[in-house]
Amino acid sequence: MTGSAAPAGRASGIRRGLTSYGDEGFSLFLRKAFIKGAGYSDDALDKPVIGIVNTGSGFNPCHGNMPALLDAVKRGVLMAGGLPIDFPTISLHESFSQPTSMFLRNLMSMDTEEMIRAQPMDAVVLIGGCDKTVPAQLMGAASAGVPAITLVTGSMLTGGHRGQRVGACTDCRAFWGKFRSGEIDRQEIDDVNSRLVGSVGTCSVMGTASTMACLTEAMGIALPGSASPPAVTADRVRIAERTGTEAVALAERGTEMSTVLTRQAFENGLRVLLAIGGSTNAIIHLTAVAGRLGIRLDLEDLDRMSAETPVLVDLKPTGTYYMEDFHRAGGVPAVLRELGDLIHRDAPTVTGRTLGEELDAAGPGFPSDIVRPLTDPVYPEGSLAVLRGNLAPGGAIIKQAAVSTHLLEHTGRAVVFEDAADLAARIDDDALDVTAEDVLVLRNIGPVGAPGMPEAGYLPIPRKLAEQGVKDMVRISDGRMSGTAAGAVVLHVTPESAVGGPLRLVRTGDTITLSVSRRVIHLDVSPEELIRREDELGPPSPPAAARGYRKLYVSEVTQADEGCDFRFLQSTELPDRDAPRDVVHPRSLIQEPG
């Protein structure tokens, strides 16, 4: 393929988006003069340009295979007659982003969008992997409007410790819990620290990174079979090469993301999220991406799907196995095949074929203990459930498939922590008045309150209870938790406490009822008492920020049910986009028990 790849009437290749000097001919002349300094010929510069987002970073081991992926994508682009040009953007890693990578996700999305807009490319390959990088890239590319295809970096390999197979990061939490409870000593925790991560790549369980990888494939914005190959395998490199080739075809067709990421595609994504036992974080990310395209995702739709979509994938943290096992078991196509009519088979994909056509081309499946049939699921319902009640009038999320069974229906006394600092100061204090039947409540860790909605919602079991053998407790917060975590953890309580949500009214000693079967999270306090407490507290006082990105974030971020995006980045076609959803009037939120 040579020459123009853009639709008629639109400039293509190196001629796209010329810098304006008042003379278009001179603008092109100057651009070509500079890039020829890098050794390009006129023949090369006449090809369709495929931009490749390079998120390699020494601070991001999840993207440690970036050089190999870049080489393979470029090879695929050249084979198809295009000109590959890579360019850098922000790179985010969970453990190397302070205060949290979620705080910086929107910044990365803006960087991605503006670099795609600013530079001439007929299509773009989005290479990402770590939790927030894939959603940030999808958000930015959706707004930029250039044909795009996602390539995930792939999961890490597992390791071994004393004859036991281990992998990040569910096992990280399990071993740390054993260390906190005194089951293992300092020598063993130091030893296992070097065994948990077997290679570069994203977490080897169904955490947020693996979840987003699976969802991009299920939604058709990544190649079939691309989600599961581990980072350091030949399969991953071959997928990268093919992604480059498909990017040239995308440019030729001029297929924009909105053509692929339809409402049907997002529904397929939600359906697969439930079936794979995926991360709670994916709900926020899908909502944000959809909002860039003018589509509002409804938590009620998710809950309806959950009732009819069992968990089919036996991976940690809801199951037993790891991502490399999932790959050998057939990956996402195996899941889609088992879901059958629950999937929109006529949804388009980046290949130009429908999802159903790609599944038919993939051939028949095979029996597996890892990807189960609908008749023999890992869990009878979807992995996630939506809760509502006077504590969460805007909704809250629980990963029901990862909850200890005896806590699915629970009433207990609240033990309240004001913020993350208060939690750190008191959670291991022997004087803390707490029992295993209590409900731990952490507030002020939402989008505005933290800011950045950190993964602190997975509150640690108080040390004195851990030493008694307690493994799980009901925990409630307006924050998030890692997709690699498990337990009776109620998350994304909306509206958050910092903007006036009812979570700010809870006091230690109150009684809280959790009923997953009834989808209820309720503070057992009378409406009159809640009004009295509200009057006593006065209006909420969200944290102020003096300058920079932090000031922008605090003033513009939306709540979890809108994807924690910046309102000014959402599509103008999004229903109710301009409604004052962040302004909370507590009296209107007080509900009678139901």
Give me 237's structure tokens: 């490199």
pLDDT in tens, 18-33: 998 889 999 999 999 9
pLDDT above 80 (res 586):
no
How far does the chain reach from its first CA to its final CA, in angstroms?
63
Q: Is the pLDDT of residue 588 over 80?
A: no
3-state SS track over 188-245 = HHHHHHCCCCCCCCECCCCCHHHHHHHHHHHCCCECCCCCCCCCCCHHHHHHHHHHHH
User: Is 353 within a domain?
Assistant: no
- The pLDDT tens digits for 429-445 are 999 999 999 999 999 99
CB atoms under 10 Å from CB of 209, counted, come to 33
| pLDDT band per the 50, 70, 90 thresholds, residue 590 | low
| Residue 589: pLDDT over 70 | no
The answer to whether residues 392 and 449 belong to one domain is: yes
CATH assignment at residue 501 = 3.50.30.80
pLDDT for position 581: 55
Are both 174 and 276 inside the same structural domain?
no
Q: Does residue 166 sit in helix, strand or coil?
A: strand
Q: What is the mean predicted confidence (pLDDT) over 524-547?
A: 92
Q: What percent of the chain has pLDDT over 70?
A: 96
The residue range of the domain holding 170 is 159-193
Q: Is the pLDDT of residue 583 over 80?
A: no
**Residue 53 in tokens:** 């987002």
Question: Within 13 Å of residue 418, how many CA atoms lie on the same side as its CB?
Answer: 4
pLDDT of residue 424: 96
pLDDT of the residue at 582: 47
Q: What is the pLDDT at residue 219? A: 98
Structure confidence at residue 367 (pLDDT): 87
Q: Tell me how far apart the alpha carbons of residues 498 and 428 are, in angstroms, rounded to a whole number.
A: 25
* pLDDT (0 to 100) of residue 543: 83
pLDDT at 499 over 50: yes
Mean confidence (pLDDT) of the chain = 94
Among 355, 349, 320, which Cα is nearest to 335's? Answer: 355
Task: Check whether residue 530 and residue 402 sit in a common domain.
Answer: yes
Q: What is the rounded CA–CA span in Å between residue 86 and residue 91?
A: 14
CATH value at residue 228: 3.40.50
How confident is the model at residue 328, as a pLDDT? 96
CB-neighbour burial class of residue 575 (10 A; exposed 0-12, middle 13-18, buried 19+): exposed
pLDDT band at 545 (very low <50, low <70, confident <90, very high): confident
Q: Which residue has the tokens 């030949």?
A: 234
Of 313, 293, 319, 333, nearest to 142 by C-alpha is 293
Question: Of the candidates 287, 304, 321, which is a domain's last residue?
Answer: 304
182 and 138 belong to one structural domain: no
Report yes or no on 389 lying in a domain: yes
Whether residues 103 and 244 fall in one domain: yes
Residue 489 DSSP SS3: strand
Is 108 among the domain residues?
yes
Same domain, 163 and 216: no
Residues 434 and 533 in one domain: yes
Q: With bands split at pLDDT 50, 70 and 90, how would you rate the model's confidence at 11? A: confident
Is there a domain that residue 495 lies in?
yes
- Looking at the DSSP bridge assignments, the partners of residue 409 are 515
Q: Name the least confident of 45-59, 95-109, 539-553.
A: 539-553
- Among residues 133, 168, 193, which one ends one of the domains? 193
Quote the pTM value: 0.94
Residue from 174, 178, 198 nearest 186 by CA:
178
Is 3 domain-assigned? no
Residue 347 · residue 354 · CB < 8 Å: yes
141-171 residue pLDDT tens: 999 999 999 999 999 999 999 999 999 989 9
Q: What is the pLDDT of residues 355-390, one digit of tens each?
A: 999 999 998 888 899 999 999 999 999 999 999 999
Q: What is the model's pLDDT at position 565? A: 98
Q: Which pLDDT value is given to residue 594?
A: 45
Tokens of 55: 């998120």
Together in a domain, 167 and 272: no
Count other Cβ atoms within 10 Å, centred on residue 300.
11
343 in a structural domain: no
Domain boundary among 284, 304, 324: 304
CB 152 within 8 A of CB 193: no
Cβ-in-10-Å burial (0-12, 13-18, 19+) of 426 comes to middle
- 1 has a pLDDT exceeding 50: no
Alpha-helical (H) ranges within 65-125 are: 66-79, 101-118
| 511 & 401 share domain | yes
- The tally of domains found in the chain comes to 3
Inform me whether the pLDDT recorded for 579 exceeds 70.
Answer: no
Averaged over 488-511, what is the pLDDT? 97
Residue 136 belongs to a domain: yes
Helix runs in 80-194, H state only: 101-118, 133-144, 170-181, 186-193
Give domain status of residue 80, yes or no.
yes
400 and 256 share one domain: no
A 10 A CB-CB count for 223 gives 22
Residue type, 520: V
Q: Is the pLDDT of residue 42 over 70?
A: yes
Q: Residue with structure tokens 């999305």?
A: 109
Q: 481 and 538 share a domain?
A: yes
pLDDT per residue as tens digits for the range 52-80: 999 999 999 999 999 999 999 999 999 99
Q: Is the domain of 168 the same as that of 227?
A: no
